[in-house]
Amino acid sequence: MAKVTDVSLSPPLSSRSSVVQRHIENLESPNPRIRSQAAEDLGKLGAQEAVPALVERLQEDVNTYVRSSTAEALGWIGDSGAIFPLMDALRDSCSFVRRASAIALGQMQAKEAQGALLRVLEDSNFYVRRASINAIGKLGIPDLGAQLVPFLETPDPRIRRTAIIALRRLGTSGAVPQMMAMLEQYLIQPNQRDLPVVKTLVVALGEMEAVEAVPALVRVLRGYVGVRSLTAKALGRIGDPQAAVALIEALRDKKSRNLQLTALKSLGDLGYEQASPAIRPFLDEPDPRLRRTAALTLGVLKDREATPRLLAMAKDDQSPLVRPSAVEALGQVGDASLIGELLPFVDDSNAYLRAALARALSTLDGDTPEVRAVLLQLQQDNVRHVAIAAERALARCDTPVRARKKKGKEVESDPDSCPEPDKRHISWLRRFLGRT
């Protein structure tokens, strides 16, 4: 009888290799539950040394649940030696195993499996076909998109949604006209049941930067409840100014804070300076999220008329998260005459503000003796992300090339001198602005 080891009852193990070895032994257990659990645990451990044993279980185990668990585990481990066994498993008699194998090949981005996955698009099982569509979308082979476009016409909304996601990942621009036509159909008679597909369409058109879809997306923004915030974000991603008027209208919708926040940020993404007068009143909103986002957007739009209010916010706003945003915005506005007003913030108790100050001063003018003295002081800050921000400012890591000039010559930053903070030390402001 094969040796069976119940890991849950075993004493604590001192090494990973011992744990892996015990799970491999459990793959030979007469109990299919133990074999299945052993495969799952090996997958979670990413145990590449277990791949041969897992492949053997995939090919020979009589229990369908064990085979499907093994296929999943091989996908998590991601070893290329499992690709061809998983391709063979796409012909397994059990749909669970075929589905798990398709998912695994997608996780591994196994380009070698493209032909096998295309054949599985005709599988008799709905869930296997859907897994294959999803997997093909992860392969990163744009030419495969044409094979998925017909699935946009499938009656089942789950298949349509999966196909849209796959086409988005592949960047299949040829599918945009059909996606637009689908969106137009959903607009004729908006229905809550269609929301999952509509949301997926909106996100896809935004990420594919489909300028031709802007008119349809504007109609969604103005009238499709449940997807308006996503649409505002998509319009910002596309970046076409013809969406600006609708986004400004969305600012007036006080029933949806999320919509207002997204519209504010998207107007910044559009670089639509004419929106500044509509944005300035948000600097006085009770909600600190609106004040913060409005400040950052006005900074992006370089709205000098907002500088007095931004400076007052930097000094006196009640929110510890709004004040750093105001400082960041003042740096983006680009008015070097404000440097004297910003320098005293070097001793502020708000660490997020000090980090924002380093970037703002570098952006405005990082070469003056006064600014460098402050940046050198911030470089010695006890808070790690503040010190890193100052180091990056001194190295001119975040300053546009056109602004890095000395005596009429551009000064390039040295990539090797630009410290990168780990996730623990990235301030909320960097994450918010997407500058990590």
Asked if residue 199 is part of any domain, the answer here is no
* Interval 276-296 mean pLDDT: 97
* Interval 393-408 mean pLDDT: 54
pLDDT at position 181 over 50: yes
The whole-number pLDDT of residue 5 equals: 47
Last residue of a domain, one of 108, 139, 170: 139
Asked if residue 401 is part of any domain, the answer here is yes
pLDDT at position 199 over 50: yes
Non-local CB neighbours of 205 within 8 Å, separated by 6+ positions: 176, 179, 180, 183, 213, 217, 234, 238
Asked if residue 252 is part of any domain, the answer here is no
DSSP structural state of residue 11: P
Asked if residue 34 is part of any domain, the answer here is yes
Decide: 322 and 286 in contact? Cβ < 8 Å: no
Non-local CB neighbours of 11 within 8 Å, separated by 6+ positions: none
Asked if residue 29 is part of any domain, the answer here is yes
Asked if residue 318 is part of any domain, the answer here is yes
Mean pLDDT of the chain: 89
The whole-number pLDDT of residue 418 equals: 62
pLDDT at position 402 over 60: no
The whole-number pLDDT of residue 342 equals: 95
The whole-number pLDDT of residue 433 equals: 45
Each residue of 14-35: pLDDT tens digit? 588 899 999 999 999 999 999 9
Asked if residue 126 is part of any domain, the answer here is yes
d(CA 18, CA 37): 17
Q: How would residue 365 be classed by pLDDT, with cut points 50, 70 and 90? A: confident
Coil, strand, or helix at residue 98?
helix
pLDDT at position 319 over 80: yes
Residue whose tokens read 């649409």: 231
Last residue of a domain, one of 105, 120, 139: 139
- Structure token digits, residue 293: 């986002």
Long-range contact pairs involving 223-227 (C-beta distance under 8 Å, separation at least 24): 223/187, 223/190, 224/186, 224/187, 224/190, 224/198, 225/190, 226/192, 226/195, 226/198, 226/199, 227/195, 227/198, 227/199, 227/202
* Interval 299-319 mean pLDDT: 96
The whole-number pLDDT of residue 404 equals: 37
Non-local CB neighbours of 174 within 8 Å, separated by 6+ positions: 145, 146, 149
- CATH number of 95's domain: 1.25.10.10
Q: How would residue 432 be classed by pLDDT, with cut points 50, 70 and 90? A: very low
- Structure token digits, residue 325: 């945003």
- When divided into structural domains, the chain yields a total of 2
Decide: 427 and 325 in contact? Cβ < 8 Å: no
The whole-number pLDDT of residue 398 equals: 59
The whole-number pLDDT of residue 64 equals: 96
Asked if residue 154 is part of any domain, the answer here is no
Greater confidence (308 vs 421) lies with 308
The whole-number pLDDT of residue 420 equals: 59
Lowest mean pLDDT among 141-155, 203-217, 309-323, 409-423: 409-423
Last residue of a domain, one of 139, 171, 202: 139
Give CA 352 to chain center in angstroms: 23
List the domain range (segments joined by +) for residue 312: 286-436
pTM comes to: 0.83
The whole-number pLDDT of residue 368 equals: 86
Q: Is the four-CA dihedral 294, 295, 300, 301 of positive or negative sign?
A: positive
The whole-number pLDDT of residue 417 equals: 53
pLDDT at position 422 over 60: no
In 3D, which of 392, 403, 334 has the Cα closest to residue 364? 334
Coil, strand, or helix at residue 349?
coil
